[in-house]
Amino acid sequence: MTLKIYNTLTRQKEKFVPFKKGRVGIYVCGPTVYDHPHIGHAKSYISFDVVVRYLRHLGYKVRYVQNITDVGHLTDNADAGEDKIEKRAKLEQVEPMELVEMYMRSYYEDMDALNNIRADISPRATGHIPEQIELAEKLIDKGFAYEANKSVYFDVSKLKDYGKLSGRKLDEQESGARIEINPEKKHPADFALWKKAEAGHIMKWNSPWGVGFPGWHLECSVMSMKYLGETFDIHGGGIENVFPHHECEIAQSETANEMPFARYWMHNNMVTVEGQKMGKSLGNFVTLKDAFKLFSPLTIRFFVLNTHYSSPIDYSNEGLDAADKGLERLHNTIRNLRERLGSSGNEGAVATGDWKGKLEKYKNNFEEAMDEDFNTAEALAVLFNLTKEVNNLLNSDEEISEGVLSEVDSLYRTYGGNVLGIVPEKTVQHDSDDADVYKMEEDLIKALIDTRNELREAKQWEQADKIRDKLSELGIIIEDKKEKVAWRKK
């Protein structure tokens, strides 16, 4: 099996071959921290979290870099409007860096809750101002950038292949048609490397061109190359960043170094609400903190992974309700499996060899799905096919060997836990925010089953059947075994 990745740059799936054998460098555009993260952020960062997890599962030593944008991201486009962080800081009447710290903590709280592994390096734009000035100077010296009114712009007309990532041709970008006219620029598509700080601008630094601040595109080139090298393996981000952000990163990086920048470009698609992109600017976003009030973080993670990262996903409470039920079915099977494993003393009974073959098939099927451009939706389908067989096994009258139970549990831990991040290491609890509520529910079900058993022993069959039927209406299935009575959720 060979891992294949859809490369936005070449518009085709390609066999993944790392730049350095056994090592992978991956850079993902991180958040602009001026507000709480929303469901759209969850889609992006869960998707790339699984990419990193799977690469490590395959044995690669991965360096994962995800930046924090704390300056330079303007409200209208890359070169116009107010700095998003400075604008929000004025609204909240706090210092910009105070705002950054608050929302950066919020971001990490939510990502941790979603079970995303933290990046190995999380550089901040404000911590790399000297390097950004240095790259701008290098581009001026090479004749690909120019100063205008104390700002610095990249001259896209000097670059023959500008637009190769997005497929946009420069001659199609007529003055004023798609890009706001700026008299400082030689061409409307020229983008800012450094912006002059106007009067009253708070976030500013000294530079060879005067007091100002870096352009948004510049930071990602500088930080990715500093920590991963001038050429690295994977650059990821949202599909909305293909143009202009990633296009400009390629232009400035490859011009400066005269060598390829990122070798594989991966872009996750967006979250929509009734078919329209979810976004703060549209006012239709749902923060993760609000979503967590209704659904567990693992339910949201499961919801995201049920769709391929490159496909859009429509957010709705109905969709998350379905995801919650699906995840609970998976967790319930694993809970029953681990309970059986903890009480099993059998060494034989079911032939371990038979299950070894089955588990090998499921392992291969799972990895085949993930090798096809990280197809988590198909990988989840493999886990649920396995779960059907495991339920049949657990519900059978056969005694099951400890070896079989342990191997099945190991598969869930490896693929459901280590790779997809939806199966906790410890015995699974229900995804309620309050575990005590679930324990109370479980105790009540067991009490009703005990009452039913007593009625059966007293031969009061009609009353016993009423309890069984009522539990069935509530979604609880009673299974009468030889030695005990088991229950499970539908």
pLDDT tens per residue across span 261-303: 999 999 999 999 877 777 766 677 899 999 999 999 999 999 9
317-419 under CATH 3.40.50.2300, yes or no: no
Banded model confidence at residue 173, pLDDT cuts 50, 70, 90: low
d(CA 456, CA 462): 9
Beta-strand relationship, 485-489 and 313-314:
unpaired
d(CA 174, CA 435): 59
User: Which of 65, 73, 71, 63 has the alpha carbon at shortest distance from 28?
Assistant: 65
How far from 461 is each of 203, 449, 474, 475, CA to CA, in Å? Answer: 77, 13, 20, 21
**Confidence at residue 434, expressed as pLDDT on a 0 to 100 scale:** 45
Residue type, 60: Y
Helix axes 39-57, 96-113, angle to 10 degrees: 60
- Domain spans of the chain, in order of start: 4-268, 317-419, 435-489
Task: Give residue 345's pLDDT.
Answer: 57
- For 419-443, the pLDDT digits (tens) are 999 999 875 454 444 445 555 677 7
Place of tokens 């595109």: 217
Q: Does domain 4-268 have CATH number 3.90.1580.10?
A: no
Least confident of 108-122, 236-250, 460-474: 460-474
Nearest Cα to 78, choosing from 226, 206, 185, 160?
Answer: 185
User: What's the angle, vertex CA 29, arms to CA 25 and CA 34, rounded to 5?
Assistant: 145
Residue 244 has pLDDT above 70, yes or no: yes
Confidence (pTM) = 0.85
43-47, 164-168, 342-346: least confident range: 342-346
CB 213 within 8 A of CB 201: yes
Amino acid at 76: D
Which are the contacts of 45, defined by CB distance < 8 A and separation ≥ 6?
28, 66, 111, 114, 116
In this predicted model, what pLDDT tens digit does every residue of 87-111 receive, in sequence order?
999 999 999 999 999 999 999 999 9
Q: How confident is the model at residue 164 (pLDDT cuts 50, 70, 90)?
A: very high
Q: Which of 290, 289, 279, 291 is nearest to 240 (CA)?
A: 279
As a whole-number percent, the residues of the chain with pLDDT over 90 amount to 70
